[in-house]
Structure 1
Amino acid sequence: MMIKKINFKQFSSIKIGQELDVVMIEDFNYPQGHYLLGASNNVLIGTNPPPLMMLSKKYDYIKIENGSLVIGAATPSGKIVSFCKKHNIADFEFVSRLPGTLGGMLKMNAGLKEFEIFNNLDSIITKEGEIKKSEIDHGYRYTDIKDVVFEAKFQLNKGFDEEKIKLFTDMRSNQPKESSAGSCFKNPKGDYAGRLIEAVGLKGKRFGDMEFSSVHANFLVNHGEGRFEDAIELIRLVEEKVKDTFSIELQREIIIVDKNYL
């Protein structure tokens, strides 16, 4: 079993965390009771994290096989878009604006508006074998995937669209430049988390180096030396204010990786 030391203050997109031992998964014999990480783009590593694991580079690949697009779950989004552009493959342009690896995108059904990673999914491979999309409960930023995903198979459609790349770039042009984990909360049905945060007066609210961005209220950003405790305090404050004001319970999109919160 290979162990890798990872400094999450450097590795995670929000730049919070400490150096931790992470088990690198090489096959179906991975440890139980460990929390699975991807590229750590939508996570907040706590001060009391569980044992961690992630897929090794063995699962970083993309290929065309038997008329399908087959992608390893450790494959980064940039590699997926580059491959699709080179081979004139459609329906993955939106991935250009989604940081991380395929496994993380599958777990949360990542996407931009109506464009989601599950749209053209055919099946996934776990230690239980091949599981068809129809067998997986999924919806907006949600799936019931519990096991480690090693590989996924997608429908292969031709026609890479450069105009969509521009569209998705424009859609994300209002995002802050500081380190963050992306959107902190899911959008409630018929509304926007950012609007609600701004409406309760917490856009630009800051504790230490952590802030709900003054550029986009649903982005929790780190101005340099942000602490886990300050991030949690801000998240809780927003949840309480929005619930008290609008009777809406915001659902977190950011994943808090800590024994006290999982």
Structure 2
Amino acid sequence: MQHVYNELTEKSVGKVLIDEPFKKHTTIKIGGPADLFIRPKSIDSLKDALAILKKHDLPIRVIGRGSNLLTPDEGIRGAVIQFGKGLDHLEVLDDQIRVGGGYPLVRLAAMISRESLSGLEFAAGIPGSVGGAVFMNAGAHGSDISKILVKAHILFEDGTTEWLTNEQMQFDYRKSVLQDERKGYCIEAVFQLARGDKKAVLKEMKKHKEYRRETQPWDYPCAGSIFRNPLPNHAGQLVEELGLKGHRIGGAKISDMHGNFIVNEGDASYHDVIVLIELIKEQVKAEYQIEMMTEVEILS
């Protein structure tokens, strides 16, 4: 791995680390070392890094702010690329914005609201990056990314790039074309917003942020919603009806506050969380004949 590290640093692609603990980069604070951990300093540097990694036939994982990830304690083989500094540019063009995939969604929503732009209020409190939000069509409070996206600049696994329109992204509930048919990563997005009353926009932002603080257990490390809502049902409600809130395996616990959250109370392992996930799946299936699908991305 050292020779690949040397190539990456010689190319000056950005920050490159060997055996970087993954738990430092996920909101649930679980995960062993990544063989290589790379934070590109620009889109061109990202392309250079991908070319080097592909030349050496290394497995590649791309992450944002680590808010919907569960990673094994044994670590991740190959390379992890994090979209962050260097891919967090922002340009405001009247009522449209062009923003890098590494830009934090919470910060973007707050900044845009101060500019009297409406459309991102739903994102108040969503702890992910723009790239991850586009990838999974993140949403809340009756809105989501598909409602505001004009187009997304996608870097595909073969190293090519293309702007995809909203229609081409094939958005659905917590889904986009990037997850299945055209695997790739959102490096930039253009959002269509609307000029609004600044006080009204800020008030709506505050309401959504307070709702999350009052109903979700962000006082503990967690990965956000574990399951997609099996509409018209809601995952948290099903868990609560089964009496599973508060159930614990090792250091992992189904939140007392919200049934669709699993929190790390200090020493939870990957295995602890997986066992809880499987327990919920089995009991929901047995009681309601509903197949639960995870929203959190489980790496292996």
Q: TM-score, normalization: structure 2?
A: 0.81
Q: Find the counterpart in structure 1 of residue 134 from structure 2.
A: 106
Q: Deviations over 1:30-55 (max 9, x none)?
A: 24541111110110111353432223
Matches within 5 A, 1:207-246: 207-246=249-288
Unaligned runs of 5+ residues in structure 2 are: 1-7, 155-159
Q: Where in structure 2 are the equivalents of 1:109-188 lying within 5 Å?
A: 109-126=137-154, 127-145=160-178, 146-159=183-196, 160=198, 161-172=201-212, 173-176=214-217, 177-188=219-230
Q: What is the CA–CA distance in structure 2 between the aligned matches of 1:82 and 1:189, rounded to whole Å?
A: 29
**Counterpart residue identity of residue 23, structure 1:** I
CA distance in 1, matches of 2:95, 2:224: 34
Indicate the SS of the match to 2:124: helix
CA 1:9 to 1:128, structure 2 compared with 1: closer, same or farther past 3 Å? closer
Residue identity opposite 2:26 in structure 1: S
Given candidates 69, 82, 90, the residue that maps to 1:43 is 69
Shift of 1:252: 0.3
Q: Which amino acid aligns with 2:276?
A: L
Q: Deviations over 1:45-93 (max 9, x none)?
A: 1135343222352211111247621000000123312321332211112
TM-superposed deviation, 1:27 = 3.2
Please say if residues 69 and 155 of structure 1, whose CA atoms lie closer than 8 Å, have aligned partners that are also in contact. yes
Question: CA deviation digits over 1:136-167, x for unaligned, max 9?
Answer: 11111111212121100111311240221132
Q: TM-score, normalised by structure 1?
A: 0.92
- Is the alpha carbon distance of 1:191 and 1:77 closer, same or farther for their aligned partners in structure 2, counting shifts above 3 Å? same
Match of 2:21 in 1: 7
Contact 2:33 2:75 in 1 (8 A): no
- The partner residue of 2:38 within 1, 8, 23 is 23
Q: Secondary structure at the match of 1:138?
A: coil
Q: Which amino acid aligns with 1:168?
A: H
C-alpha change, 1:56 and 1:183, in structure 2 (3 Å) is closer
Tell which deviates more after alignment, 87-96 or 99-108.
87-96
**Separation of aligned partners in 2, 1:148 and 1:23:** 15
SS of alignment partner, residue 82 of structure 2: strand
C-alpha distance in 2 between matches for 1:253 and 1:14: 14
Is 1:84 paired with 2:112? Answer: yes
Paired residue secondary structure (2:186): coil
d(CA) in 2 for partners of 1:94 and 1:195?
21
Deviation at 1:7, TM superposition (A): 2.5
Cα distance change on mapping 1:197 and 1:156 into 2, 3 Å: closer
Greater shift in the superposed pair: 37-46 or 119-128: 119-128
Higher alpha-carbon deviation: 156-165 or 139-148: 156-165
AA aligned to 1:143 is S
97-106 or 161-170, larger mean C-alpha shift: 161-170
Alpha carbons of 1:204 and 1:50: their partners in 2 closer, same or farther (altered >3 Å)?
same
Question: Residue 144 of structure 1 aligns to which amino acid in structure 2?
Answer: V
Gaps of 5+ in 1: none
Q: Let me know the Cα RMSD of the aligned residues.
A: 1.8
Instruction: Using the TM superposition, name which of 66-75 and 237-246 deviates more.
Output: 66-75
Query: Helix, strand or coil: the match of 1:59?
Result: coil
The CA distance in 1 between the partners of 2:166 and 2:104, in whole Å, is: 21
State whether residues 137 and 145 of structure 2, in contact with CA within 8 Å, keep that contact through their aligned partners in structure 1.
yes
Structure 2: distance between partners of 1:143 and 1:155: 18
Equivalenced residues, count: 258
- Pick closer, same or farther for the CA change 1:90–1:242 going to 2, 3 Å: same
Q: Which amino acid in the other structure matches residue 96 of structure 2?
A: S
Question: Is the 8 Å Cα contact of residues 117 and 193 (structure 2) preserved in structure 1?
Answer: yes
Shift of 1:183: 0.8
- 1:23 aligned counterpart, secondary structure: strand
